[in-house]
């Protein structure tokens, strides 16, 4: 959430920065609401002073035996007036809160300007694209040839964009999860957690899914407090909600494997035939809770942690820096990691690594106490997929397919499986 003090003192600056990401800030509306709040607060202060003076006057009159009926009526009137103004203050504060909660994060200065994903910038590329044979089957054909993928059963069980994976490829899917978790825990120093797949509205608000992206959530019943999580970022980041941490415990590095659930509103017909865009999918999620001074260095560390997985799998990938117009709601800087998909002859996103600054921390009221000054400040948060499991499986199947139609198991996965070929 944007700092209200920044809006109050530098609204022009905030407005100009938000324009870079295509967001129009209604400065006049905010100034009007803020002015109303201040006027009501001033009125309440004046009323309290009047009531205090009236009370003193009443006490003095009682001491000398004067009639105080009018003074009692006046006190009653002032008390009711204070109550009415406090009710107005609650309402205007809620209007301000609702207004600010829809404002996205301010992009960092180094984020390239642009209106859409077409203006994202490739900043790094790794690995050699294999051209070992002319046959390039896509993952759907590979899986259906071995009777390992069934969309019809998935549809019968839960509806469209759900699938059932069977046999050796299901085992490879599980092996990828174990490999990713083991690497992030044993090599990259993350703490593994098992978290709920349901989140309440406060958690979803804290990481920025609510109120803006409510249509993408799978809610549990009409008017329910809970939704299925769209990403492991939600429960992992909210572990520090409404807490004050000691600075010496920072950084906190969390990793978890979760199922994720998204309606994919507005994406019908897009990548709907395979595993690339499902309503239910698996991710291994990384979250960093850090001191503000360490956020940029931790961003680079997290980017390296993500790349380790693809390098160990020997999958060609590239890194793309998102432009201002393509940033996620809570992010001030994001790099996407995209893996090479032979059948599509292009790279496909398997991870987004985002620096959120103190934006989510303000929404969660997540803070730390500085060990030197003892002052309480907002934490910084980061998140990244390490990696999206289904899409990584797609990349493995397509990049490791052999001329005879089999799939070679990547070296790093062999210890998790009892076979070398599919």
What does the pLDDT look like over 249-307, one tens digit per residue?
Answer: 999 999 999 999 998 754 555 555 567 788 899 999 999 999 999 999 999 999 999 99
- Summarize pLDDT for 153-208 with one digit per residue, the tens: 878 888 888 888 888 999 999 999 999 999 999 999 999 999 999 999 999 999 99
- Summarize pLDDT for 211-222 with one digit per residue, the tens: 988 899 999 977
- Burial of residue 44 (number of CB atoms within 10 Å: 0-12, 13-18, 19+): middle
| Angle (CA) 114 119 122, round 5° | 125
Beta-strand pair 191-192/252-261: parallel
Cα–chain center distance at 194:
18
Domain boundaries, the chain: 26-101, 117-416
Q: What is the predicted pLDDT for the residue at 36?
A: 97
Beta-strand pair 226-228/198-200: antiparallel
Q: Can you give the pTM of this predicted structure?
A: 0.91
From the list 200, 364, 218, 215, the residue with the least C-alpha distance to 287 is 364
Q: What is the predicted pLDDT for the residue at 115?
A: 96
Options 3.30.930.10, 3.40.50.1000, 3.40.50.1370, 3.90.120.10; CATH of 117-416: 3.30.930.10
Question: For residues 209 and 10, what is the distance between their CA atoms, to the nearest angstrom?
Answer: 26
Beta-strand pair 346-355/333-341: antiparallel
From the list 233, 394, 257, 232, the residue with the least C-alpha distance to 313 is 394
């Amino acid at each position: 959430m944007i700092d209200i003090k920044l809006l109050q003192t530098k609204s022009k600056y905030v407005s100009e920065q938000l324009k870079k990401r295509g967001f129009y800030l209604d400065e006049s509306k905010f100034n009007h609401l803020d002015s109303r709040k201040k006027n009501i607060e001033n009125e309440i202060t004046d009323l309290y002073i009047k009531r205090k003076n009236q009370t003193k006057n009443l006490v003095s009159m009682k001491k000398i035996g004067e009639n105080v009926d009018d003074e009692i009526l006046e006190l009653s009137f002032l008390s009711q007036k204070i109550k009415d103004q406090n009710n107005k203050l609650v309402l205007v504060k809620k209007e301000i809160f609702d207004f600010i909660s829809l404002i996205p994060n301010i992009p960092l200065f180094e984020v390239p300007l642009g209106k859409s994903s077409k203006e994202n910038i490739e900043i790094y590329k790794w690995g050699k694209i294999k051209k070992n044979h002319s046959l390039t089957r896509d993952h759907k054909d590979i899986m259906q040839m071995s009777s390992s993928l069934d969309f019809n059963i998935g549809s019968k069980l839960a509806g469209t964009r759900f699938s059932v994976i069977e046999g050796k490829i299901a085992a490879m899917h599980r092996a990828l999860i174990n490999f990713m978790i083991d690497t992030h825990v044993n090599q990259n120093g993350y703490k593994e957690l098992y978290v709920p797949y349901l989140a309440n509205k406060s958690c979803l608000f804290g990481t920025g899914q609510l109120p803006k992206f409510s249509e993408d959530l799978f809610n549990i019943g009409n008017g329910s407090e809970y939704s299925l999580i769209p990403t492991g970022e939600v429960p992992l980041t909210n572990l520090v909600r409404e807490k004050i941490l000691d600075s010496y415990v920072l950084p906190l590095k969390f990793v978890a494997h979760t199922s994720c659930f998204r309606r994919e509103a507005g994406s019908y017909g897009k990548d709907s035939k395979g595993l690339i865009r499902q309503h239910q999918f698996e991710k291994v999620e990384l979250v960093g809770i850090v001191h503000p001074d360490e956020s940029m260095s931790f961003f680079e560390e997290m980017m390296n942690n993500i790349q380790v997985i693809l390098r160990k799998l020997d999958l060609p990938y590239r890194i793309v820096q998102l432009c201002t117009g393509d940033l996620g709601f809570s992010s001030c800087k994001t790099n996407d990691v995209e893996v090479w998909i032979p059948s599509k002859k292009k790279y496909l996103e398997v991870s987004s690594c985002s620096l959120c600054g103190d934006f989510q921390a303000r929404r969660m009221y997540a803070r730390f106490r500085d060990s030197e000054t003892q002052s309480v400040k907002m934490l910084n948060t980061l998140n990244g997929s390490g990696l999206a499991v289904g899409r990584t499986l797609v990349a493995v199947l397509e990049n490791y397919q052999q001329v005879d139609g089999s799939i070679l198991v990547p070296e790093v996965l062999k210890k998790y499986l009892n076979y070398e070929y599919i």
